[in-house]
């Protein structure tokens, strides 16, 4: 497969909303910034909506954040978009007749869970507000205005 960039794109969408409060943001407008197609943006927004991070009304091009930016973490976005997909993947097709194969994978699971935990703990400390703050610094350096296409 390709590598999933859904988390990045979801963060992009939420930041875009936060940076354009009150604007009439169609999925097409957002898609231009992400440089993708409107249906994909709507799919992302659908997941974010179901997770309670975003509010929108069918047919009405005015999606808004469901919470303040400092109340939305990167982990919230990850859960919304990727569910419980792990960052490291086990091989679940080892030989079931081989005790080594089976139990090595069981052992690895414990350690993968630990790694997942520290990654998620870190994600839970990063908010959309943090991302926006960092964005503003970068944008300042790059002399960009946040209303450009």
Partner DNA sequence: TTTTGCTGTAAAATAATAAATAACAGTGGG
Partner DNA sequence: CCCACTGTTATTTATTATTTTACAGCAAAA
Q: Identify which of residues 58 and 97 has a Cβ nearer to a second copy in the complex.
A: 97
The owner of tokens 């469901």 is 66
How far is the C-alpha of 131 from the C-alpha of 70, rounded, in Å?
10
Residue 37 to residues 98, 136, 143, 148, Cα–Cα distance (Å):
47, 26, 27, 19
Q: Identify which of residues 55 and 107 has a Cβ nearer to a second copy in the complex.
A: 107
Q: Where are the alpha helices (DSSP H) in the chain?
A: 6-19, 27-34, 38-50, 74-82, 99-123, 128-141
Q: Identify which of residues 46 and 134 has a Cβ nearer to DNA in the complex.
A: 46
Summarize as ranges the residues that interact with DNA (CB under 7 A). Answer: 1-6, 9, 25-28, 36-40, 42-43, 45-46, 49, 56-61, 63, 85, 91, 93
Summarize as ranges the residues that interact with a second copy (CB under 8 A). Answer: 1-5, 7-9, 11-12, 15-16, 19, 32-36, 74, 87-91, 93-95, 97-108, 110-111, 114-115, 118-119, 121-123, 126, 130-132, 134-135, 137-139, 142, 144-146, 148-149
How far is the C-alpha of 93 from the C-alpha of 91, rounded, in Å?
6
Q: How many CB atoms lie within 10 A of CB 133?
A: 13
Q: Which does 104 bind (CB under 5 to 8 A by kind): DNA, a second copy, none?
A: a second copy
**Within the chain, what is the greatest distance between any pair of CA atoms?**
62
Q: Nearest distance from residue 107's CB to a second copy, in Å?
A: 4
Q: Which does 58 bind (CB under 5 to 8 A by kind): DNA, a second copy, none?
A: DNA
């Amino acid at each position: 497969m390709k590598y999933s960039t859904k988390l990045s794109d979801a963060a992009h969408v939420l930041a875009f909303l936060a940076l354009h409060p009150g604007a009439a943001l169609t999925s097409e407008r957002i898609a231009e910034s992400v440089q993708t197609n409107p249906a994909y943006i709507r799919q992302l927004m659908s997941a974010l909506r179901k997770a309670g991070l975003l509010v929108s009304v069918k047919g009405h091009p005015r999606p808004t954040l469901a919470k303040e930016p400092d109340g939305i973490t990167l982990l919230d976005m990850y859960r919304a978009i990727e569910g419980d997909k792990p960052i490291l993947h086990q091989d679940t097709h080892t030989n079931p007749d081989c005790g080594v194969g089976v139990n090595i994978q069981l052992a690895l699971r414990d350690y993968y869970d630990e790694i997942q935990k520290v990654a998620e703990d870190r994600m839970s400390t990063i908010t959309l507000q943090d991302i926006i703050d960092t964005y503003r610094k970068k944008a300042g350096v790059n002399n960009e205005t946040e209303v450009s296409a």
